Amino acid sequence: MRVAFKMFVNEHSITDYIARHNPIWKELETALYQHGVIEYSIFVDPSHRELFGFAEIESKAEWDSIAQTDICKKWWAHMSDLMPTNADGSPVALELTEVFHLGGRRK
């Protein structure tokens, strides 16, 4: 299963946002894998301060449960000065609907 979403970075915060992901905390990486994340990428559009997230996951329920982990909440707090956030500290994110997918390779 694949999920995609859009988030935003505060003005003048893109460099710091990128730096905080390189490297990602090992504890957070472990939690993501433990919750069924197979692949996870975030792309940035600096001209609009937008982030595009894409993940291949084992299940939506496992993906959603990451938000309940202490390490995820700690990460959100660490990133909160760089991004718009919701009342619970999570980053403002807009889920995107997949309209096309080409899978596998042609032989």
Mean pLDDT by 10 residues, the chain (107 residues): 97 97 97 98 97 98 98 98 98 97 81
pTM over 0.85: yes
Kindly name the residue from 21, 48, 78, 101 that is annotated as catalytic.
21
- In a domain? residue 102: no
- Say whether 35 is catalytic: no
Q: Who contacts 11 (Cβ-Cβ below 8 Å, separation ≥6)? A: 49
- Structural domain count of the chain: 1
53 has which bridge partners?
5, 42
pLDDT given for residue 106 in this prediction = 73
pLDDT given for residue 26 in this prediction = 98
H or E element, residue 20? helix 14-20
| CATH number for 84 | 3.30.70.100
- In a domain? residue 106: no
Which residue range is the domain that position 26 belongs to?
2-96
- In a domain? residue 101: no
